[in-house]
Structure 1
Amino acid sequence: MTTITFVKDKNGKEVITEVVAANGSNLREKALQNNVDIYKLKGKLTNCGGVGQCSTCIVDIVEGMENLSPRTDFEQKRLGKKPDSYRLSCQTVVKGPITVRTKP
Structure 2
Amino acid sequence: MAGVASQSVEAKPQNNPEEITSNGSNSVPTVTQQQKSRSQTWVIDDFDIGRPLGKGKFGSVFVARSKEEKVIVALKVLFKEQIRKHNVMHQVKREIEIQYHLRGNGS
For the aligned pair, the TM-score class normalised by the smaller chain equals under 0.3
Q: Over alpha carbons, which structure has the higher Rg?
A: 2
Q: TM-score, normalising length from structure 2?
A: 0.24
Structure richer in strand, relative to its length = 1
Greater helix share, structure number: 2
Q: TM-score, normalised by structure 1?
A: 0.24
